[in-house]
Structure 1
Amino acid sequence: MPKGPGWLHWVDLASPDAATSRAFYCELFGWSVYTLTAPGYGNYNIFTLDDVHGPEVAGLQMLTDDSQPPSWTCYFRVEDLRGTVDTIIDQGGQELIPPTDWAGLADMALCTDSQGADFGVAKPGLIKGLGATDQPSTVCWVELAAPDLNEGRRFYTEVFGWRATDRDHHGSAYTTWKVGDRSVGGMVLMDDAWPRRYPTQWTPCFWVTDCDATAARATELGATVGVPPTSIRPGRFSKMTDPTGAPFAVITPVRSPGPGAA
């Protein structure tokens, strides 16, 4: 649901096979989907919760560059799009796609941070942001895997004004970013236990009612489970790649549904 600057605004999937991605996520999460067609922009798919009249929960577009891997992108809301992109560049990041008015739906830019992780910044248009979060079959968390936590803290504090708080995560530090007193995302250290050459990246985590059953069903639908269902402090968690190779995570939180519960 729409929130202020620094909050997660949108998530979308860049896929080499839109039909496969649509079928997979609709079956796994019970989503519906409709397609927007804008002159000069092509087709853009909007996933919705329950039926096509439900709240928007994610987007899907075709991957236009075959050299790039399938991936989810997390977009964060800003008030000054051009100014934020300039700050990103000043702090060591890069501009991949400059600020663009996407057919009036939103103004968006795609960037990388100072460690190479892709992310987006957005200013709302006709689409005000995610229509539902923090409930089953919606995004409830986003997490950056990075090799240098200090650099991650420095970069995102400068860009978004986030406040970083740390706690122990299985013997290493875990960073939670906050806007005011509300958590908006996290960062985990890519240490020696991670696969070699694993990319620095943001990953969305979706709320499910039964993590084990969801992981099993995802496997049946063609996904590859990288982290099997595991009990962690916030709940029961699993990480996987979808049939096209895009990473995402699922969690069954230990707390009841509600804003910010995960």
Structure 2
Amino acid sequence: MAENRASEYTEGTPCWVDAQLPDLEAGKRFYGELFGWTFEDQPTGTVRASKDGDPVASLARKTDGRLPTVWTVSFFTPDADALCARIRAAGGQVVAPPAPFGDLGRTALVTDPEGAVFSLWQPGATAGFGRRHEPGAFAWVQLYTRDTDTANAFYGDLFHDALFGEGADPDFGRAPVSEVFAPEMPPHLLVHFAVRELEPALERVTRLGGRTQVPPFDTSYGTAAVVTDNQGASFALLRR
């Protein structure tokens, strides 16, 4: 079922994901075969990925080779400027201040106090995901942090209603980096995509030129595995 209306989202709800890749055509081949996505070039210079006709993600070409090859999650906000001010006051940083993204909305790039990077999305013509919580679409984002107390305080205040409000059903969790990764791994937000079965999906990742970074492990929100695509961008596969 499509979920693409602004009213679907509370501030702090994950509403979009995008990948910064050096080779868009290679990205389209990889994710098209892995998730059954189709693609459409956008006036903004990005490529929109759709599942069964509904938007689920976007791919963008890296403009600077020094930038990471990475998936980034965007959290919904009705007021990006006000949220950026609150992020600064809470010890985070604004890397790129709110700016128009065509007529689709306004976006900003920010970090939490430990440096984990995420985006904000203030919708214009586009509210966010057309599909989520189903195979081939966004399912969860997990923050891996060195200081869970600081992270819980920061995000708990910033996105209180989405995480703890009445009827909240958050798609966002927090855990120590060392729970899954080597202790030296920097704090980061890991995007999860749903799959029906993990093993066939992991085999497809390998066949398409990616690799398994962390084999399947159980979590409170399902069984996950961390992989990289054929250009090195990390993400997780999730079976619930």
TM-score, normalised to structure 1, is 0.84
Residue 16 (structure 1) shift: 1.3
Name the CA distance, whole Å, in 2 between partners of 1:62 and 1:194: 27
Does structure 2 conserve the Cα–Cα contact (< 8 Å) formed by 1:118 and 1:201?
Answer: yes
Partner of 1:47: 49
**Alpha-carbon shift at residue 57 of structure 1 (Å):** 0.2
Residue 40 of structure 2 aligns with which residue?
34
Q: Match of 1:150, SS?
A: helix
Matched, 1:228 2:215: yes
Gapped runs of 5+ residues in structure 1?
A: 164-176, 254-262
Preserved contact between residue 6 and residue 179 of structure 1 (Cα < 8 Å):
no
Letter in 2 for 1:32: T
Alignment of 1:175-254 (within 5 A): 177-180=163-166, 181-191=168-178, 194-253=181-240
Structure 2 counterpart of 1:12, one-letter code = D
Which deviates more from structure 2 when the two are superposed, residues 184-193 or residues 237-246? Answer: 184-193
C-alpha contact 2:107 2:121 (8 A) present in aligned 1: yes
> Is 1:15 aligned to residue 15 of structure 2?
no
- Letter in structure 1 aligned against 2:55: E
Structure 2 contact 226–237 (Cα < 8 Å) conserved = yes
Deviation at residue 234 of structure 1 after TM alignment: 3.9
Correspondence for 1:82: 81
Q: CA deviation at 1:80?
A: 1.5
1:233 CA drift (Å): 4.9
Return closer, same or farther for 1:192/1:62 CA change in 2, 3 Å cut-off.
same
| Superposition misfits of 4+ residues, deviation over 6 angstroms | none
Query: How far 1:128 moved relative to its partner?
Result: 1.5
Instruction: Give RMSD over aligned pairs.
Output: 1.7
Report the residue type matching 1:49 in the other structure: K
- Using the alignment, how far apart are the partners of 2:152 and 2:212 within structure 1? 29
Contact 1:178 1:184 in 2 (8 A): no
The residue matched to 1:26 in structure 2 has which SS?
helix
Tell me how far apart the structure 1 counterparts of residues 65 and 35 of structure 2 sit (CA, whole Å): 27
Instruction: Please state how far the C-alpha of 1:223 moved relative to its aligned partner.
Output: 0.8
Q: Distance in 1 between matches of 2:104 and 2:123?
A: 7
Cα deviation per residue 1:96-135 (whole Å; 9 max; x = unaligned)?
A: 1110111111111010110000001111111121001111
TM-score (norm 2): 0.91
Q: CA deviation at 1:229?
A: 2.7
Moved more, 115-124 or 188-197: 188-197
Q: How does 1:11-160 map to 2 (within 5 A)?
A: 11-38=17-44, 43-50=45-52, 54-160=53-159
Q: 1:235 to 1:90 in 2, by over 3 A?
A: closer
Of 99-108 and 153-162, deviating more is: 153-162
Q: Going by fraction, where is helix more abundant, 1 or 2? A: 2
- CA distance in 1 between partners of 2:138 and 2:180 (Å): 26
The answer to whether the 8 Å contact 2:139/2:171 transfers is: no
Conserved 8 A contact 1:14-1:62? yes
Quick one: distance in 1 between partners of 2:220 and 2:172? 16
Aligned equivalent of 1:166: none
Matched residue type, 2:81: R
> In the TM superposition, what is the alpha-carbon distance from 1:231 to its structure 2 partner?
4.4
Q: Which amino acid aligns with 1:35?
A: D
Aligned partner letter, 2:216: P
1:191 to partner: Cα distance: 2.5
Distance 2:69 2:25 in 1: 14
Indicate the SS of the match to 1:100: strand
